[in-house]
Chains A and B, each alone.
Chain A
Amino acid sequence: MKKPSKKREIEYCKVCRLHHDHGSRHKYFPRHKDLLSTFLDRFRTKIADVRFFLKNPSVLRPQEQSQNRVWCVFCDEDIVELGSSFACSKAINHFASSDHLKNIKQFLSKNGPAMDCIDDFRISEAGVAKWEKKCQSLGNEDASSFKGSCGQLSGTSNDIHNNLAFKTMDKIENVPAQLINSHHSSDVLPLQYNTNKYQISHSELPGVAHYGSYLNMDSSHLPLHTDPPSNLPGNGFGKHVIPSRSKDYPSNQDQERKQIKGSYSSPGEVGMTSISSSHSNDACGNVHSGAPPPWLDANDGNSSNVQLNQSDMSSSFQAKIPGKTRKLNPNRVGAAWAEKRKIEIEMEKRGQTMNSKVDADWLPNFGRVWQSGTRKESRKEFEKEKRKLVKTESISTESEPVKIQPYISKRARRETGENGSG
């Protein structure tokens, strides 16, 4: 006799993301084991990223703080690097903490494989100590300037959208060029002024003539390209522009102001980027001139192949029609007739007229109302009736019209005959 199974409470498994009442057996299920391995692998990659910063501590800029966050699956909490000066510092401290270790143990006992993989998910205290030393050494190098520039940047980065009309250029002008120069590469200055429709070039404005083309190349560097192109170094689209640009900035400020003022003078423009006409001045032509599209031009040699392919496609498509019958039930009503008819239609389409004229006496397969037996018999019966009808009609037309007389009984006829004779 089977023992009735105990009613277990319904629990939620974080790994499988489902509710179950398997109790403690659940962690041995193969599906759970598979999902657990992927789950833990994912977390291992996250920890690997954090370990990278453990070995190579780097400064964390305020604008990137919100991006530098980790979700700890064991503790079910999000570690956000708010107010930390080094990348992943809070994460490193968390992974080294005793609470985290306790949660790992709990998780593994509930869900998981053996406890030998605990060290994969935590950072040792020795590692943290090393990291702190490295951070200190880093911090000493850039202590003053770093803090200063951080403060300035945080002030300007919060004002991306507003208050950066070209009036604020005055403020930026006051920022000592040294600070900006001290930034390493891969830094992006906040927007100097609003990327406004008025900053977009008109081909008429000479100073800003190349602006549009630069915009096409890399729209993310929009604010950087308000410089006249002569000021940009060779790799004008890289981020390395900034330090050199800032040097030249005060001297060119007036010129730029004039440029921008000029562009501001047309208020009724739609806010769109105009592509400079030099791009479209090719001899190739365009849609409006009716020129062939570039992909066909490139495949001139392949155009015949394309045609061939098309014919192949059409033949294969035709071949698909009998293929379609393969999918249809071969036992369906009139299947044999249907396939025969399809072939006939195809041949007619190709131009081979195969008995295109239907026999005038053709009748479809029909089971008549007052007829029992096969449908062929009903057709034969109908044809018999038809023939009889035709015969009777022909007989009736050929014979003389019959005189209709009232019925006289034999006795009456005998009596009249007797009377007549007698």
Chain B
Amino acid sequence: MSSFLLKTLTKKEEIDRIIRDTIDEVLVLRFGRCTDTVCLQHDDILAKSVTDVSKFAKVALVDVDSEDVQVYVKYFDITWFPSTVFFFNAHHMKLDSGTADHTKWVGAFHIKQDFIDVVEAIYRGAMKGKMIVQCPVPPERIPKYQLLYKDV
């Protein structure tokens, strides 16, 4: 349902275009499937928050089942869905949330405010020139997962 409100990207060109055209704003790319329940919850939170962060962030969804997008799925080392990757001026922003993977946010946000806080922290860090920021979400609301190196 929320995929109607947010742009869904299915091609590498579209992803490239949105990354290159988002200037001085945080770009939030959600990699996932619109049929997955956790993705649906995540998309719901994103859709509700998109207007609140519209002044400094853009949100887009990427369908991982599309073949054209597999390049990015591999490049971004995406193994769990939904995974949210943050960009600022075509530079990838890392988020230290205490998990094994700092390059993305894995799982769904519990509340809207968590997402807004994360985006704000990324924006503030990016404006100061930092490429990695501390996650403002408390640990109990950060989804836990196991990261396997090449399935080991």
Real complex partners, A and B? Answer: yes
By DSSP majority rule, is chain B's interface helix, strand, loop, or mixed? mixed
The segment out of A51-59, A281-289, A337-345 that lies at the interface is: A337-345
| Stretch in B36-44, B45-53, B85-93, B138-146 touching the partner | B85-93
- Decide if A366 touches B20 in the complex (CB within 8 Å): no
Please state if B75 and A366 are interface contacts (CB–CB under 8 Å). yes
Within 8 Å of chain B (Cβ to Cβ): is A185?
Answer: no
Is B128 a contact of A364 with CB atoms below 8 Å?
Answer: no
A367 within 8 A of B: yes
From B92, B93, B127, give the contact of A328 (CB < 8 A): B127
- Identify the stretch in A165-173, A193-201, A208-216, A355-363 within 8 Å (CB) of chain B at 4 or more residues: A355-363
Contacts of B71 in A (CB 8 A): 386
Tell me the B62-91 residues at the A interface (CB within 8 Å): 71, 74-77, 87-91
Looking at chain A's contact residues, is the secondary structure mostly helix, strand, loop, or mixed? loop
Among A332, A345, A375, A382: residue with most chain B CB under 10 A: A332
Pairwise interchain contact A328-B129, C-beta atoms closer than 8 A: no
Is the Cβ of A367 less than 8 Å from the Cβ of B20?
Answer: no
Contacts between chains A and B (CB distance < 8 A), count: 85
Contact between chains at A369 and B103 (CB < 8 Å): yes
Q: Does B147 sit within 8 A of A, measured CB to CB?
A: yes
Residues of A within 8 Å of B13, CB to CB, are 358, 360
Q: Beyond A338-B23, A338-B89, is A370–B77 a contact (Cβ under 8 Å)?
A: yes
On whether A332 and B127 interact (CB within 8 A), knowing A342-B23, A365-B91, the answer reads yes
Most buried by A among B13, B19, B89, B130: B89
**With A and B bound together, what is the CA distance between A332 and B71 in angstroms?**
28
* Residue numbers in B under 8 Å from A342 (CB-CB): 23
User: What 1/0 flags go to B13-31 for Cβ under 8 Å of A?
Assistant: 1001101110110000000
Residue B110 is within 8 A (CB to CB) of chain A in the complex? no
Q: Is B4 an interface residue (CB 8 A)?
A: no
Q: In the complex, what distance in Å separates the CA atom of A334 from the CA atom of B128?
A: 11
Tell which of A337, A363, A375, A386 has the most Cβ of chain B within 10 Å.
A363
In residues 87-140 of chain B, which contact A (Cβ within 8 Å)?
87-94, 101, 103, 125-131
Interface residue count on the A side (C-beta < 8 Å): 28
Given A333-B130, A342-B23, A368-B91 contact (CB < 8 Å): no
In angstroms, how far is the closest chain B Cβ from the Cβ of A174? 74
Residue of B nearest to A333 (CB): B126
Contact across chains for A369 and B147 when beta carbons are under 8 A apart:
yes
Chain A residues within 8 Å of B77, by CB: 368-370
**How far does the alpha carbon of A370 sit from the alpha carbon of B74 in the complex, in Å?**
12
CB interface residues, A 369-388, toward B, < 8 Å = 369-370, 375, 382, 385-386
Docked Cα-Cα span, A329 to B125, in Å, equals: 11
A339 to chain B, nearest CB (A): 9
**Interface membership of chain A positions 308-351, coded 1 if the CB is closer than 8 angstroms to chain B and 0 otherwise:** 00000000000000000100110111110110011001000000
B residues in contact with A337, CB < 8 Å: 89-91
Complex CA gap A369/B150 in Å reads 12
How far in angstroms is the closest Cβ of chain B from A269?
49
Rounded to whole Å, the gap between the CB of B119 and the closest CB of chain A is: 14
A333 & B129 in contact (Cβ 8 Å cutoff): yes
Partner of B89, one of A333, A363, A369, A382: A333
* Residues on A with beta carbons closer than 8 Å to the beta carbon of B128: 329, 331-332
Known: A333-B89, A334-B88, A360-B12. A366 touches B103 (CB 8 A): yes
Alpha-carbon distance between A329 and B89 when the two chains are bound, in angstroms: 13
Check B91 against A333 for contact (C-beta < 8 Å): yes
Known A-B contacts A338-B23, A364-B87, A366-B103; the reply to A329 vs B94 at CB < 8 A is: no
- Assuming the contacts A358-B13, A364-B19, A369-B77, asked whether A331 and B129 have C-beta atoms less than 8 A apart, the reply is yes
A370 touches B149 (CB 8 A): yes
Q: Are A358 and B16 in contact (CB under 8 A)?
A: yes
Shortest Cβ gap from A355 to chain B (Å) = 11
* Chain A residues, CB < 8 A from B93: 333
CA of A335 to CA of B77, assembled, Å:
26
| A329–B77 CA distance with the chains assembled, in angstroms | 31
Residues of chain A lying within 8 A (CB to CB) of residue B101: 369
CA distance A333 to B13 in the complex (A): 23
Contacts of A328 in B (CB 8 A): 24, 127
Of A358, A360, A366, the residue contacting B92 (CB under 8 A) is A366
Task: Give 4 closest A-B pairs by Cβ, nearest first.
Answer: A334-B89, A331-B129, A369-B77, A334-B91
B: residues with CB less than 8 A from A are 12-13, 16-17, 19-21, 23-24, 71, 74-77, 87-94, 101, 103, 125-131, 147, 149
A residues bordering B, Cβ < 8 Å?
Answer: 325, 328-329, 331-335, 337-338, 341-342, 345, 358, 360, 362-370, 375, 382, 385-386
11 more CB-based (< 8 A) A-B contacts, given A368-B103, A386-B71: A329-B129, A332-B129, A333-B91, A333-B130, A333-B131, A334-B90, A337-B90, A338-B24, A345-B21, A360-B12, A367-B131
Task: Jot down 24 A-B pairs with beta carbons below 8 A, ordered by A.
Answer: A325-B24, A328-B24, A328-B127, A329-B127, A329-B129, A332-B88, A332-B129, A333-B127, A333-B131, A334-B88, A341-B21, A341-B89, A341-B90, A360-B12, A362-B16, A364-B19, A364-B91, A365-B91, A366-B75, A367-B92, A368-B77, A369-B101, A370-B77, A375-B92
